[in-house]
Amino acid sequence: VVGAEISNSSENLVSSEASSSDT
């Protein structure tokens, strides 16, 4: 469970950075 949460957080962070770069 913890691993899944960490993985999801990591993906969200990358997505957020990519979105910021696009802007």
Residue pLDDT tens, the chain, 23 long: 566 666 556 666 666 665 555 55
Question: What pLDDT does 5 receive?
Answer: 64
Question: What pLDDT does 7 receive?
Answer: 59
Question: What pLDDT does 8 receive?
Answer: 59
DSSP per-residue letters across 1-23: -HHHHHHHHHHHHHHHHHHHHH-
**Rounded-to-integer distance, Cα 16 and Cα 3, Å:** 20
Structure tokens at 12: 């969200």
